[in-house]
A = this chain, B = another copy of it.
Amino acid sequence: MTGENLRRSGRRGSQRRGPDLGSEDSQTLAEVGEFGLITALSAWLPAGPRTLVGIGDDAAVLAVPDGRVVATTDFLIEGRHFRREWASAADVGHKAAARSLADCAAMGAEPSALLVALAAPPDLPVSWARELAEGLAAECARGGAHVIGGDTARDDHVVLAVTGLGDLAGRAPVLRSGAGPGDLVAVAGPLGHAAAGLALLEAGLTGDRLVARDLVAAHLRPAPPYEAGPEAAGLGATAMIDVSDGLLADLGHVAAASGVRIDLDSAALRPGDRLVAAASAVAGSRRHSVRTDPVTRPADAEALRWVMSGGEDHSLAAAFPAGTRLPPRWKVIGTVAGGHGVLVDGQPWAEPPGWDHFSAC
């Protein structure tokens, strides 16, 4: 009476088409059953060179020659983290993988494996599960990882719980707690794009009205710069974090863990034209809707808010010793000093910095 680990009958190797499930697109999970789903998922998810035992047994076995394994787990819950009317199954697969693999990268590790627990309603189309698996596999390929196992269960909405495993390859893990006064603070990857994309979707600016497809894509399929994580570790990063809750909130975690103050320079964080245009479009759509929003900011202020407080970009923010020569993908946005908290141009930021799952509505 339990959903077992994803199983398959011992085969392993390169990407394969799943077994013939008949006219799959019209079938549901209830029709193929738990074991039909598991057999299909295992065929859609290729094993990798470090997969010593993959899908198909009580547990997977992964090679971790470093002697340490980096491990993290993240939920992706329908209605909380994604909406099926906005996100394709492939989007959900990409995002579910990205969340956990970015956490591995933020420790300075190379992503190596995923375990995927999938709960779903019985009327979920099998085609949705297939596209989910394709998204998971594609994002794993971006990071150099493979799905090695998981679980299936029934629930009234889709719930994914994804565990990422990573390999430090001899490097020391980069914690949140190592930043020191004088360090540079830099970011690899975009800021505010995912928040802009979410605002565009919420404003109904989709389809023909979609002004910035890449921003919507940044929300639906964030593309973390995985290689920047081990790169930062190699450059001597003193602290690092995945920007998932928002820049100010996440740097606040670094400041608290390190016992330092982080001073940001707003000139380095000025939103680009596309973000401001998106903010204008969202504001315009609000003026033309019956909905009244109590907070209406100028477009450039709203775009700056996305940069400072928007979450889910899954970029990496890190502190480096002063004088570190950073590769071009790292943009310096501030410095570390004695004290506590995060200041912008020497002042506390006026917006509430974070997101709380249990109090937010």
Contact = CB atoms under 8 A, between A and B. Distances in A.
* Copies of this subunit: 2
Contact of A77 (B65, B69, B116, B155): B155
B312 A2 contact: yes
A37 B358 CA distance: 9
The SS class assigned to the A binding surface is mixed
Contact of A64 (B69, B163, B256, B356): B69
Nearest to A229: B58
Interface in A1-44: 1-5, 7, 9-10, 29-30, 32-35, 37
- Most interface-central of A56, A58, A159 (chain B CB within 10 A): A58
A175 interface: yes
Interface string A172-214: 0101110000000000000000010010000000000000000
B245 A4 contact: yes
Interface string A82-121: 0000000000000000010001101101000101110100
Nearest to A7: B253
B119 A159 contact: yes
B148 A5 contact: no
Contacts of A195: 1
14 contacts: A1-B244, A1-B246, A1-B355, A56-B176, A58-B104, A60-B71, A61-B107, A71-B113, A74-B151, A75-B119, A75-B153, A77-B119, A77-B153, A119-B159
